[in-house]
Structure 1
């Protein structure tokens, strides 16, 4: 019973203290992990931009060739 009483008194304090201590490293500004994630996001965004431009270019080329062929068939 004494253990349960102690846990009720100090359980929440221990939880808050543990949470604060464990969360402290997450407030680091420029860690190696953050830098790696930012560079990966930038590389991914540039890859998406190149892919979208390529798909739009192929669609425009296909449409243009289709229009030329349909015009020459007449």
Structure 2
């Protein structure tokens, strides 16, 4: 269908956006490759990007950080 879907996210303090787009693509692809739906994968990508923009420099979102973001 052609319906838009809102994927919830949270406002965060941003320190550095370096690599944020790469993080979105990587997390979205990882979610889809693991069998998650597009919406679930987009939520994962949003959380991952939110984590990395809160760090200085090119950063990653750890498994523990992602788990905590969903709890």
The reply to whether TM is greater than 0.5 is no
- With a CA cutoff of 8 Å and minimum separation of 6, indicate the structure with the bigger relative contact order: 2
TM-score (norm 1): 0.27
TM-score (norm 2): 0.28
The answer to which structure has the higher helix fraction is 1
